């Protein structure tokens, strides 16, 4: 077995790394790889999915138009929603997996990456449509397949940046995180292993697993062997590299925003702009959309401002123009519910399908009621648009 000895050990920050690390793929490495790419849920994971941390017995109207099932079966998600809102009477629930159309009952949806040339950046759209219309969605499905494959290529750029390597990117990430040569060497060894495992088993890996977080998950499996100190520092370095890769990832190979909207409208789909803080310049583009998310767990600073802007736009619009609706997205990622507690992303794990607190905020609700834009109004109007 070939062994690699990392460069000098830092005396300032202990890593708890051994002097010799096996470079060849071991049986344990293969077991780790298949564990993180498997979509089969254990009984404990199923229990976690079916057991919400909080129950909302008083909430009767449920609107959830921005959430990600990932690999969690829809029947389990439906049971979780029933357990979370035991007394619900009305609902509009549509999944929005990244670049994959998925269905929940009478509705289907997707979150699409696209390119807005006017301000030269990637944006995302939420598309919602009645499931019965999917039989006519061949072109949209082909667009999504291209988009999904291109977005997946970012993972391989991430991997190749480390193993080839792209030194200026690694130097920048090391400078940001204080990673020394020994830690970088350790990371490179295991990223090489992951790359070889992907090459060997790519046809067995679910499409949804081909994403950047595969590296994070792989390194988390090394905690029992190398300890939290070393893996936490490795994760910090990997995260810095990932952000540099994303910054340099060209959005120009995505479909243009107008092209996706045109295809969606041809299917009678609704179109919503998510992530207001990230994509707010799109407000200036006057795209044919149904409305904007004004709140998201990671985008909430401008909620009040965005509501004011949309209300003003609606007042200034002509009578023939449909009004722009206010939406809120919980942006729940269901895979977080299946993780062991010590591996959960604390920013994501508490999100829940259909839970968007600002709808009940007294100040925000007052403004929405005056504009005839409270949750019940939006649900009724958007449901009618999707049926039209």
Q: Give average pLDDT by consecutive 10-residue segment, the chain, 388 residues.
A: 43 57 91 92 96 95 97 97 97 97 97 90 94 97 96 95 94 95 95 96 85 93 93 96 95 94 97 83 83 88 87 87 94 93 81 96 90 93 95
* Contact of 339 with 24, CB cutoff 8 Å: no
* Non-local CB neighbours of 198 within 8 Å, separated by 6+ positions: 159, 205
* Contact of 261 with 271, CB cutoff 8 Å: yes
Q: Give the residue from 260, 309, 253, 315 showing the smallest Cα distance to 288.
A: 260
* Contact of 32 with 194, CB cutoff 8 Å: no
CATH entry 3.20.20 includes domain 59-137+257-387: yes
> What pLDDT is attached to residue 5?
46
> What pLDDT is attached to residue 205?
87
In Å, what is the CA distance from 244 to each residue of 183, 233, 343? 18, 17, 23
Q: Which residue has the tokens 């990600």?
A: 68
* Alpha carbons 307 and 371: distance in angstroms, whole number: 9
* Contact of 337 with 316, CB cutoff 8 Å: no
Sketch the domain layout of the chain as residue ranges.
59-137+257-387
Q: Sign of the C-alpha dihedral, residues 153, 157, 159, 164?
A: positive
* Alpha carbons 319 and 337: distance in angstroms, whole number: 45
**Residue 336's beta-bridge partner residues?**
none
> What pLDDT is attached to residue 321?
86
* Non-local CB neighbours of 119 within 8 Å, separated by 6+ positions: 281, 282, 285
In Å, what is the CA distance from 247 to each residue of 154, 229, 286, 343? 11, 28, 26, 26
Q: Strand ranges (DSSP E) for 208-302?
A: 270-273, 291-295
* Non-local CB neighbours of 39 within 8 Å, separated by 6+ positions: 71, 206, 208, 209
Residue 60 has phi, psi (to 5 degrees) of -110, -30
Burial (0-12, 13-18, 19+ Cβ within 10 Å), 127: buried
Peptide bond before residue 165 is cis, with ω within 30 degrees of 0 = yes
**Residue 121's beta-bridge partner residues?**
116
> What pLDDT is attached to residue 162?
97
In this structure, are strands 102-104 and 332-333 parallel, antiparallel, or unpaired? unpaired
Q: Give the residue from 116, 144, 148, 129 showing the smallest Cα distance to 280.
A: 116
> What pLDDT is attached to residue 341?
81
pTM passes above 0.95:
no
**Residue 327's beta-bridge partner residues?**
293
Read off the tokens for 373. Answer: 């834009």
């Amino acid at each position: 077995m070939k062994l690699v000895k990392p460069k000098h050990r830092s005396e300032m920050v202990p890593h708890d790394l051994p002097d010799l690390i096996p470079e060849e793929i071991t049986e344990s490495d293969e077991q780790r790889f298949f564990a993180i790419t498997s979509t089969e849920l254990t009984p404990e994971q199923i229990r976690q999915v079916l057991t919400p941390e909080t129950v909302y017995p008083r909430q009767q109207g449920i609107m959830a138009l921005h959430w990600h099932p990932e690999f969690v079966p829809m029947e389990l998600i439906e049971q979780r929603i029933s357990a979370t809102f035991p007394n619900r009477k009305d609902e509009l629930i549509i999944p929005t997996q990244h670049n994959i159309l998925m269905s929940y009952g009478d509705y289907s949806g997707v979150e699409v990456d696209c390119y807005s040339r006017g301000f030269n950046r990637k944006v995302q759209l939420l598309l919602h449509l009645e499931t019965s219309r999917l039989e006519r969605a061949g072109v949209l499905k082909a667009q999504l397949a291209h988009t999904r494959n291109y977005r997946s290529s970012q993972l391989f750029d991430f991997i190749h940046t480390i193993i080839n390597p792209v030194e200026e990117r690694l130097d920048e990430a090391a400078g940001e995180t204080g990673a020394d040569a020994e830690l970088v060497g350790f990371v490179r060894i295991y990223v090489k292993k992951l790359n070889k495992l992907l090459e060997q088993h790519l046809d067995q890996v679910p499409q949804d697993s081909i994403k950047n977080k595969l590296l994070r998950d792989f390194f988390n499996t090394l905690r029992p062997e190398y300890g939290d100190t070393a893996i936490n520092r490795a994760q910090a370095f990997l995260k810095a590299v990932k952000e540099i890769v994303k910054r340099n990832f060209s959005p120009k190979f995505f479909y243009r925003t107008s092209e996706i909207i045109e295809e969606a409208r041809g299917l009678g789909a609704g179109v919503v702009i998510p992530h207001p803080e990230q994509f707010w310049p799109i407000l200036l583009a006057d795209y044919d959309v149904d409305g904007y998310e004004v709140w998201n767990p990671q985008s909430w600073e401008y909620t009040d401002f965005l509501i004011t802007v949309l209300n003003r736009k609606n007042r200034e619009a002509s009578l023939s123009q449909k009004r722009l609706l206010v939406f809120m997205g919980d942006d729940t990622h269901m895979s977080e519910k299946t993780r062991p507690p010590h591996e959960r992303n604390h920013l994501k794990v508490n999100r829940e399908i259909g839970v968007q607190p600002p709808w009940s905020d007294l100040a925000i609700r007052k403004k929405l009621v005056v504009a005839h834009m409270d949750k019940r109004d939006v649900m009724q109007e958007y449901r009618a648009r999707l049926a039209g």
